[in-house]
Amino acid sequence: MASKQPIYAVRPRIFSSETIARMYPTAVRILSEIGLRVRHPHLLEAARRAGMRVVEDRAFPEKSTFADLVAENGPSANQNSQPEEPLAAPITLTIHNYSEKYHAIETDEIMPYTSERLIEATKLVDTCAARRVHSGAPGVPTDVPPYLRTVLQFKIGAQYSRTGRIYWDAQYARSLRYVMDMAEAVGHPIRTLPVFVNSPLCIGGESEIAVLEFRDRLESIRVSNISSAGLSAPIRIADAVTVGLAEVLGTAAVMRVATGLPIIWEIAVTGGSPQATLERWAAEEVSAFYHGKQPEPPEGTIFTGAEAPGIQAAAEKMYFFTYGALFGCRTFLGAGNLQGEIIWSGEQLMIDLEMRDYVQQVVSGIDSDFNPDLCIVETKEGVDLGIFLALESTARAYRQVTWFPHLFDRPDLRRRAKETVRQQLAEYDYALEPEITRELERIYERAERDLAYL
């Protein structure tokens, strides 16, 4: 059969180029007139030494401080905003790893994660690796002291999931040393760390402390804000994105003079469904403009406000799947997540996979080959037989052109999803190399001695 042409829509422009071009000088004014609150003394002193104006706990970076971080003229006209390869790629799911609650399929209760439940959830995630689900431990164990939680989370992810060796970020700087050592042990050393702006216009939290402490082990820093329109940023999206631009540029300037490391930055604005997609794309559009490139096919999200699998979760997630995929998303964050990022459900993961496969069938397109002579021959044969189902050509191509659901054709979808969870857990067969397992255990024992009673 001929190759398929992916189906997608032209991604909408959220802002005009003229509007985006006015955001940078406005962000410069925000930093020079309002400034950036810097709560860490070392960062504040680094800003002062670099020539920034400092008043009490606020730094006031000037335009020259971060001019090389932006492309003021935006992307060149000949850059392609719809790369074909990502659009042709299959849709991959990832899981938001911050959940502290777990949906138990046996009782339908929402319970805090214990280490045992988190191991079971991680095993389930691993059994979905062949279906393009990439994640480590999908939540945080709450049955150990706070400083040990992200350490144990990374250990469980690395030990029980073949895609769980990648670090995202630790909640506490003092926990990070052990996570970094574990990452070295599993062959995925951490060479970059995130710095999160505390919106509005404030830095000096745990992420900055971690970068300062482990600067010698890093090759770069990733700076991002996570503001919410109407809460920690102005309610109008253009204003919220402009404040976000000021936040990340100001933070990037301070962190660079404090560490000397290269900076990667992006703007992030969050909000409620369904406008969250447009808010996220607006932030990505402005980030891309000031990096001198066109927006790439975005990462999608499939978050829902629902607290359990059901009609609301399916409706909200299917909206995000369909809308995002048609505009180029080929990776979606939030698989199995409920109530935003608070709850994780294996049952919901099975349903999310079903919805993903449904949408994948749509955006993958259809066989574009057309042979007029063959069309006439097959039509004549079908008319003579009175049915096309009996044709040899139908039998050959049926499975290639028809999608077969795993769950949607069942009378009780939720029951079938739970049965699938149990079946896949029974088939779990991953085992980490024994020598790496022993090294993870040694590092975790050291972390227990150092962190358990803090």
pLDDT by residue (tens digit) across 142-155? 999 999 999 999 99
Between CA 285 and CA 75 the distance in angstroms is 11
Per-residue confidence band for 1, with pLDDT thresholds at 50, 70 and 90: very low
Q: For residue range 286-295, list pLDDT tens digits in order.
A: 999 999 998 8
Q: What is the mean pLDDT of residues 86-103?
A: 88
Q: What is the pLDDT of residue 373?
A: 87
Phi-psi region of 89 (alpha: psi -120 to 50; beta: other; left: phi over 0): beta
Per-residue confidence band for 12, with pLDDT thresholds at 50, 70 and 90: confident
Question: By 3-state DSSP, what share of the chain in percent is helix, strand and coil, each rounded to 5?
Answer: 50, 15, 40
Q: What is the pLDDT of residue 77?
A: 54
Tokens at residue 249, please? 């540029």
**Predicted confidence (pLDDT) at residue 446 exceeds the cutoff of 80:** yes
**Predicted confidence (pLDDT) at residue 39 exceeds the cutoff of 80:** yes
Bridge partners of 50, per DSSP, are: none
Q: For residue range 390-407, list pLDDT tens digits in order.
A: 888 888 777 767 777 778
Among 94-98, 218-222, 362-366, the least confident range = 362-366
Q: What is the mean pLDDT of residues 98-114?
A: 94
Non-local CB neighbours of 441 within 8 Å, separated by 6+ positions: none
Torsion angle defined by CA atoms of residues 306, 323, 246 and 71, in that order, rounded to the nearest 10 degrees? 160
Q: What is the pLDDT of residue 141?
A: 96
Q: What is the pLDDT of residue 86?
A: 55
Q: For residue range 154-189, list pLDDT tens digits in order.
A: 999 999 999 988 766 767 889 999 999 999 999 999
Non-local CB neighbours of 394 within 8 Å, separated by 6+ positions: 388
- Determine contact, residues 157/150, Cβ cutoff 8 Å: no
All structural domains of the chain, each given as residue ranges with its CATH number in brackets, are 84-364+433-451 (3.20.20.480), 372-401 (no CATH)
Tokens at residue 314, please? 């399916």
- If residue 203 lies in a helix (H) or strand (E), which one and from where to where? strand 202-203
* pTM: predicted TM-score of the whole model, two decimal places: 0.89
Q: What is the mean pLDDT of residues 324-338?
A: 92
Between CA 100 and CA 142 the distance in angstroms is 7
Q: What is the DSSP letter of 271?
A: -
Q: What is the mean pLDDT of residues 265-291?
A: 85
Among 35-49, 80-94, 352-366, the least confident range = 80-94
Between CA 184 and CA 187 the distance in angstroms is 5
Q: What is the pLDDT of residue 444?
A: 97
**Predicted confidence (pLDDT) at residue 79 exceeds the cutoff of 60:** no
Per-residue confidence band for 389, with pLDDT thresholds at 50, 70 and 90: confident
Between CA 435 and CA 273 the distance in angstroms is 46
Spell out a b/e string for 169-189, using b for 16 or more CB atoms within 10 Å of the CB, else e: bbbbbbbbbbbbbbbebbeee
Q: In whole numbers, what is the pLDDT of the chain averaged over residues?
A: 89
Long-range CB contacts for residues 273-277, cutoff 8 Å, separation at least 24: 273/303, 273/304, 273/305, 273/316, 273/319, 273/320, 274/316, 274/319, 276/301, 276/303, 277/301, 277/320, 277/323, 277/324
